[in-house]
A and B are shown apart, each in its own frame.
Chain A
Amino acid sequence: MNDAVPEKKLKLATAALCGCFGCHMSLLDIDERILKLVELVEFDRTPLTDIKAVGNCDIGLIEGGVANTENVEVLRDFRRHCKVLVAFGACAVNGGIPAMRNQFDLQDCLQEVYLDGIGVENPHIPDDPEIPLLLDKVHPVHEVVKIDYFLPGCPPSADTIWIFLNELIAGEAITFPYSLIHYD
């Protein structure tokens, strides 16, 4: 941890697209170090602050892949507002577990889940206009917008996130010990 506190706090935003929220849980796993983090950054839109719209930010962390139209909108909004955008975790980096549905036609997935699956009651494919439309495939975020940094891991460990944010905020080259980079 760098003792020097920057004069002006950087702004940090995070979003969860098509993931399991595990990467955000891992971010919280930095435990009491989050007190040091809030000395360095001000949280903008994140699930932690409940701010709904992303403002101009220095750093944006994107968890999850792109699976529906809302994910595309949020991701593009983050790209417009964040100086540095980070693919945060396996799903953002390569689609991850949700991308396993790319092996099947979307219609077959919906049919199995909402119509033909075991134990389904009142079979009906949800069609409320407020529900974002699903894309036919789940995509990694770099296939939709330019990404500046990739942080693999399912999830990236708290130490990985901590080292990354500290080095990034300090303007240093990002380097990790061997055991902190993994794809699972």
Chain B
Amino acid sequence: MSSDKKFKLDGKDIPFHDGDTIMDAVLRAGEYIPHLCHNPEFKPNGSCRVCVVDVDGRHMSACTLPAAKNMEVDNSSEVILDQRRSLLQMLFVEGNHICPACEKSGACQLQAVAYYTRMLSPHFTHFFPRRSIDASHPDIIFYFNRCILCGLCERASRDVDGKNVFSISGRGINSKLVFNSPTGKLGDSALSATDKAVSVCPVGAILPKHKGYEDPIGERLYDTKPISVVGDVAANHSANDSSRNGD
């Protein structure tokens, strides 16, 4: 009987279907587990680990772990919240995330998830890596400083756009996004401004040119309501697109 298929999230029953991950079932039930590299439209990556939950005593990523009957999933204990906050702090110090100087600020998923987890400080020592900008594309600019290597643009370009423009190259701290073009420049790749890969970026790494700071402070995506209520950057982008198309 399908109604038997339930697990507990912080003591609450969550029904699931065959093949669901914990994240799939939780999002469908209208609950929230913080995440960055996960987007329900794409195959889970499990790389950012921000969706860490305690499943029967083991810390697992909710976006990749298949749901199973009678699991006890802890999504809100101090231990889990601390672990998520530490992961976010490491993401912040590893790049150069200067929020006051970023166009994405206020509508950035990294920032919003950090607000959600009540991250007040970076805690760790900053790396201050020296990373460049690729402004070679006529319509799109790429900030390596802000890229968190979530791999969403890679998946979107490959699976939806059919272009394979992005890939992650290198290992460890030397990992970086590379562009599939003869010169290695984004401007010489097949990327176009309407590609799915451009709209899925959860941070301010891939940004459209010729516009910016369009929403005033106080009216941006995450200014007044948390991400658990507002939802992901990409989902809001898609919703805005379809409402515009509907006009």
Contact = CB atoms under 8 A, between A and B. Distances in A.
Contacts of A142: 121-123
B61 interface: no
Contact of B99 (A90, A103, A151, A178): A90
Nearest to B120: A150
Nearest to B225: A178
B122 A184 contact: no
B128 interface: yes
A40 interface: no
Interface stretch (B7-15, B45-53, B100-108, B184-192): B100-108
Contacts of B102: 184
B122 A178 contact: no
B126 A183 contact: no
Interface string B118-146: 10111101101011000000000000000
B81 to A, nearest CB: 15
Interface stretch (A2-10, A55-63, A92-100, A110-118): A92-100
A152 B130 contact: no
Given A94-B92, A94-B122, A181-B120, A103 B130 contact: yes
A127 B118 CA distance: 44
B128 to A, nearest CB: 4
Nearest to A154: B100
Given A93-B121, A97-B98, A183-B99, A143 B105 contact: no
A137 B128 contact: yes
A99 B225 contact: no
A164 to B, nearest CB: 11
Nearest to A100: B98
Interface in A165-184: 178-179, 181-184
Contacts of B96: 99-100, 102-103
A183 B128 CA distance: 18
B111 interface: yes
A53 to B, nearest CB: 28
B156 to A, nearest CB: 26
Contacts of A181: 115, 118, 120
Nearest to B93: A94
B3 interface: no
A93 B131 CA distance: 21
A64 interface: no
A30 interface: no
B103 to A, nearest CB: 11
User: Which 4 pairs of residues, A with B, have the shortest CB-CB distance?
Assistant: A150-B121, A183-B99, A154-B100, A102-B128
Given A95-B98, A99-B98, 14 more contacts: A87-B121, A90-B100, A94-B97, A96-B100, A103-B96, A143-B125, A147-B121, A150-B120, A150-B121, A178-B226, A181-B115, A183-B100, A184-B102, A184-B106
29 contacts: A90-B100, A93-B120, A93-B122, A94-B126, A95-B98, A96-B100, A97-B98, A97-B101, A99-B128, A103-B96, A103-B128, A103-B130, A140-B122, A142-B122, A142-B123, A150-B120, A150-B121, A154-B100, A178-B225, A179-B223, A181-B115, A182-B99, A182-B106, A182-B115, A182-B223, A183-B114, A184-B99, A184-B100, A184-B217
